[in-house]
Amino acid sequence: MTVIDIERPSDYAALPPRPAPFRRFFTETALLVGRGLRTIPRVPSRLSDVTIQPLIFTLLFLYVFGSAIHIPGIRYQDYLLPGLIGQSLAFGVIGAGTATATDFATGVVDRFRSLPVTRLSVITSQVVGQILEQILGLVIVAAVGIGLGWRPHLNVGSAFELVGLMLLGLTAFTWFGVLMGMIFKSADAMQGIGFAVVFPLTFLAGAFVPISGMKLIPRTIGEWDPLSALVAAVRHVCQGTNSSGSWQLTHPVVSMIFWCALITAVCVPLALRRFRTTTAAK
């Protein structure tokens, strides 16, 4: 009679220890961000909103508006480019929302749910990936603007201040876009509603013409438009100019920090809750 020697559980090789929750979260987020960036060469049209679109806006507004608009005390290039940078930040809402809605509609999020990854890493990777793409758009706008005559007055301190404000704005508007994308769940709806809301607010924010020259109703809206604080802050840091009007226009940096902190504080918990309820319902 043959005796079969059965291995005891203790004879098996020990499994590697499970990473700590925070380490696992950051590792999974980095992997998912890398996955999103690797899809860009296969779908280059994804970057059209942060490459081609800012280039077209810069050329059109500079050469069309610039030939007709004269602002006392400042060249139009120096007035316009901070406004275009603010517009690019605001348009990040549309890009982030469209990408999020597309992932939900095409089942990408469902596939992630079948993997042993934390749900939080799925949404944070979406935010980080969109921020990286938006940074590319801002670099393109700044580079084209400098090539066309924009001359920002930046020293080391103001350069760091500008970078900090840009990252703060990107974080706030990207979270807002991700939340909107989960609410609408349709790329077409997100693009249509996003342009219908963001584009008028950008024009009223003094990105292309001074708010002080507008009629009463658009001037009042523009003076308290959150995007006005953003544009005025970029213009203040880059050109050293101050706007007149409401409190937020005369204190643009503080106002921008306040708006970005408020948007982030509201949108982050709502987006996380929406993501949990949406995925749990499937």
pLDDT (tens digit per residue) in 172-216 = 999 999 999 888 878 888 888 888 888 888 888 888 888 888 888
Cβ atoms of 197 and 229 within 8 Å: the answer is no
Query: Which element (helix H / strand E) includes 112?
Result: helix 108-113
Distance of CA 67 to the CA centre of its chain: 31
Instruction: Give the confidence band of 2 by pLDDT, cuts at 50, 70, 90.
Output: low
Among residues 141, 124, 126, 147, the alpha carbon closest in space to that of 89 is found at: 141
Average pLDDT over residues 51-67: 81
pLDDT computed for residue 12 by the predictor = 47
What is the tens place of the pLDDT at every residue in 129-140?
A: 889 888 988 888
**pLDDT tens sequence across 210-229:** 888 888 898 899 889 899 99
Query: Cβ of 209: how many Cβ atoms within 10 Å?
Result: 17
CA atoms of 224 and 57, how far apart (whole Å): 24
**Residues 6 or more apart from 228 whose CB is under 8 A from it?**
204, 205, 206, 211, 222, 248, 249
Would you say 228 and 211 are in contact if contact means Cβ atoms under 8 Å apart? yes
Identity of the residue numbered 276: R
> Are 206 and 80 in contact, with CB atoms under 8 Å apart?
no
- Is residue 205 within 8 A of residue 129, CB to CB? The reply is no
Residues 161, 164: Cα–Cα separation, whole Å: 5
What are the sequence ranges of the domains in the chain?
A: 46-280
What is the value of pTM for the model shown? Answer: 0.84
User: Residue holding tokens 């090539």?
Assistant: 147
| C-alpha dist (Å) from residue 55 to 50, 92, 212 | 9, 15, 28
Residues 79-125: tens digit of each pLDDT: 989 989 988 888 888 888 888 888 888 777 777 777 777 777 888 88
